[in-house]
Amino acid sequence: MTLEYQFDQLCNKHRSKSHTTQANRRSMLKLFAQQLAKNGYDTRNMSPSDLKGRHVNKLLEQWRKDGVSTATIKNRMAVVRFWAEKVGNSGAVKDNATYKIDRRIYVTNENKSVSLHDLDLSKIDENIAQSLRLQDAFGLRREESMKFQPEYALDGQTIENAKYIRLKDSWTKGGRPRTIPISNENQRQELRKAYAQAVKNGGSMIPKEKSYKAHKSNFEAVTHGLGVGQTHGLRHGYAQTRYLELMGFPCPAVGGSRSLTSEEIAKDKEIRMLISEELGHSRINITSVYLGSWSKK
């Protein structure tokens, strides 16, 4: 059996995380098998358990030769680690620092947020429009906003009294479920609209007659036409609004300029960690991309 076929079987056996993550993982492993074959390895007679450090090094060498971006290399390394873990050889893959994979986050204090006030949603598909409003109100990723199911998200609460929404692992990046607090009336209003829309669709923001893949393709075409790309700017806007709400003054990316007291420095750190978790990130420093940095002049 070829390595490519056995990778496919490995993915069938270990179906963890979201459907999108599984599909990406399968696609990357297929690519790895092809690249190893092109570099002289006999993948027709190689199994996933044959993974060694030299294979990882060869893949990295190929990616760098091809000019693959650091972000993409990081994503690919996560799949290599999945491979190593599932065959019981995690030691074959070192941490990113050992491979000199850049971990720097570039902070410019540039405001990259997108406001719904600047967009005309009246002429687009209502499912897409409502997903965009959910992204704006709760800082959801695109996939999360499309798969959003109000009934599940409310976790038995009524919209009027709900204190949070919950996101299912199959909606989220990395398969990490999370909760997001409800802190303003706009969020409740968007939940009411989403609930009504979901009833028409049979549960989520995806039309009954469409698959996720087909709806995503339409979603991308519409948002491209609106000039908001992958809609990440809406998450920036959410993070910035939450910072102002919790901190009491604007973040650096919105033009905030001040010297923080020792108490404010401590509070800033606490709030950034909270916002990071609400956005579905596990590292506090990622919030500097959304909020900017007080140390950046």
State which of 213, 229, 245 marks the end of a domain. 229
Question: Mean pLDDT, 10 residues at a time, over the chain (297 residues)?
Answer: 92 85 90 94 94 94 88 90 93 89 73 89 95 97 96 97 96 91 96 96 94 94 90 94 95 87 96 96 87 83
Query: Per the domain annotation, does 79 fall within a domain?
Result: yes
Query: Per the domain annotation, does 267 fall within a domain?
Result: no
pLDDT at 103: 66
Query: Per the domain annotation, does 295 fall within a domain?
Result: no
pLDDT at 106: 64
Query: Per the domain annotation, does 236 fall within a domain?
Result: no
Cβ partners under 8 Å of residue 244, min gap 6? 250, 251, 254
55: which 2 tokens? 């294979």
> Do 143 and 191 fall within a single domain?
yes
pLDDT at 105: 62
State which of 229, 254, 282 marks the end of a domain. 229
Q: Contact 276/105 with Cβ under 8 angstroms?
A: no
> Do 132 and 214 fall within a single domain?
yes
> Do 88 and 129 fall within a single domain?
no
C-alpha distances out from residue 93 to 29, 74, 116, 139, Å: 15, 13, 43, 34
Query: Per the domain annotation, does 198 fall within a domain?
Result: yes
pLDDT at 230: 83
Q: Full-prediction pTM beyond 0.85? A: no
> Do 15 and 61 fall within a single domain?
yes
Query: Per the domain annotation, does 163 fall within a domain?
Result: yes
> Do 87 and 165 fall within a single domain?
no
> Do 136 and 65 fall within a single domain?
no
> Do 88 and 161 fall within a single domain?
no
> Do 168 and 215 fall within a single domain?
yes
Q: Give the domain extent around 11.
A: 3-92
> Do 57 and 149 fall within a single domain?
no
> Do 33 and 87 fall within a single domain?
yes
Q: What are phi and psi of 146, to 5 degrees?
A: -75, -40
State which of 229, 244, 275 marks the end of a domain. 229
Q: Contact 25/175 with Cβ under 8 angstroms?
A: no
Query: Per the domain annotation, does 153 fall within a domain?
Result: yes
The total number of structural domains in the chain stands at: 2
> Do 86 and 157 fall within a single domain?
no
> Do 85 and 129 fall within a single domain?
no
Query: Per the domain annotation, does 196 fall within a domain?
Result: yes
